[in-house]
Amino acid sequence: MQKVLVITYYWPPAGGPGVQRWLKFTKYLPEFGFQPIVYIPENPSYPIVDENLINEIPEDIQILKQPIQEPYGWASLLSKKKTKTISSGIIQEKNPSFLEKVLLWIRGNFFIPDARKSWVKPSISYLTKVISDENIKTVITTGPPHSLHLIGLGLKENCSIQWITDFRDPWTSIGYHKKLRLSKSSQRKHKQLEAKVLNTADKILVTSNLTKQEFETITDKPIKVITNGYDDKLKPVSLDSGFTISHMGSLLTGRNPIALWKVIQELVQENKAFKNAVQIQLAGVVGEEVLQSITEYGLESYVKSLGYLSHDDVLEVQQKSQVLLLLEIDSEETKGIIPGKLFEYLNAKRPILAIGPEGWEAGKLVIQTQSGNVFTQNDSKCLKNVLLDWFKSYENGELRCNSVGVGQFHRKALTESLAKFI
């Protein structure tokens, strides 16, 4: 089999969506003639840990590790809580403290492209020998963190390899990028690095068509869209007895579904049966502004915080929920963001209530697969009508999701596309 070196920061026991993509690709690649070798940090600073994912690491896979120095250690001496919050991607928008402003400014302007930049040079040195010794012809780097693409850049300059970059998220157009308090020179440096990576790589992988269109304005290199997906791992479960509306993953300020809170408040006031049955389940980190909105609309008693769940528990909650909630920031920058949870929602076969920007690519997939309904924050009336219709179906024991064309997003099918692209 051809050997493929995969360079990734997120790997079990890291939790969250970032680890799933290449954990699953490496599981199925040998079926298509490729032997993956995975390179990861020896001592990473993962904001979320899921020990159960260790059991999903493919047997007999070769894993290489090298130490990494990250700034979050010394930053936590100033504030452990705020450092963990920032490293998790949670950026306070309303009334940030002075310390938060300072930490963000340092993160944005001293660590370009990101806080893992110190791993680049030692990794290039170490992997150059590995590539020679193992006769590796293809190297794949996946980001964020986008500093890993700089490792690929260095290896491309040192070795005779095919280098493929995988962008799970965009680089300079990602929503949080504007919140990093970047100076103009820092903004330019990000743009320059992004262009250099895109124009030096042999091939480029992205997770959405809009990201592909964006990158096509920067480079003429081959770009392939391979979305995230789902894997068969479902056990028979019974649906929740209550009318549960569940959101999986981080629910931060920009995703705050004000229209939904307003609609649920109205239905609670107008419909006694709805009031007695509805429960909003939030799994993962919830931003302070979101919690404040829930309080303002008087919904605290209808909200159940599940905290961080293992991936196995997430799959179970998704299957048992009456309705699954998919949210994105209502802005131009997020139209091409397809949350990884969408594909596991599709596999759970429960109705999806999606709220996001006009022209949202994830929303188009919901419509295409006939797996739910999509709204903007301005669609309160339509949102209310659909939620009430679903509730009536729930009362009659008839709330179902008859989706179509979901099989194309199975991890094995996606890996076959990846193998052909390699």
Q: Enumerate the β-bridge partners of residue 304.
A: 281
Residues 83 and 103: beta-carbon distance below 8 Å: yes
Query: What pLDDT is recorded for position 288?
Result: 87
Query: What pLDDT is recorded for position 145?
Result: 94
Query: What pLDDT is recorded for position 94?
Result: 57
pLDDT tens column, 336-372: 989 999 999 999 999 999 999 999 999 999 999 999 9
Q: Which has the closest alpha carbon to 16: 248, 325, 355?
A: 248
Query: What pLDDT is recorded for position 319?
Result: 97
Write down all domains in the chain, each with its CATH number in brackets.
2-71+111-226 (3.40.50.2000), 243-406 (3.40.50.2000)
Query: What pLDDT is recorded for position 278?
Result: 98
Q: Enumerate the β-bridge partners of residue 225.
A: 206
- As averages over each run of 10 residues, the pLDDT of the chain (422 residues) reads 97 92 97 98 91 93 95 49 47 59 68 90 98 97 96 97 96 72 86 97 97 97 98 89 96 87 97 98 92 96 94 95 92 85 96 95 97 93 96 97 96 98 98
Query: What pLDDT is recorded for position 173?
Result: 83
Q: Whole-model pTM?
A: 0.89
Q: Which has the closest alpha carbon to 287: 262, 254, 259?
A: 254
Helices (DSSP H) in 217-310: which residue ranges? 258-270, 272-277, 288-296
Q: From residue 383, give the alpha-carbon distance in Å to each of 31, 228, 338, 389.
A: 44, 27, 21, 10
Query: What pLDDT is recorded for position 98?
Result: 62
Q: From residue 388, give the alpha-carbon distance in Å to each of 57, 147, 163, 294.
A: 43, 47, 51, 20
Query: What pLDDT is recorded for position 115?
Result: 87
Query: What pLDDT is recorded for position 73?
Result: 52
Query: What pLDDT is recorded for position 16?
Result: 85
Rounded to 5 degrees, φ, ψ at 379 are: -100, 40
Query: What pLDDT is recorded for position 130?
Result: 98
pLDDT tens column, 194-219: 999 999 999 999 999 999 999 999 99
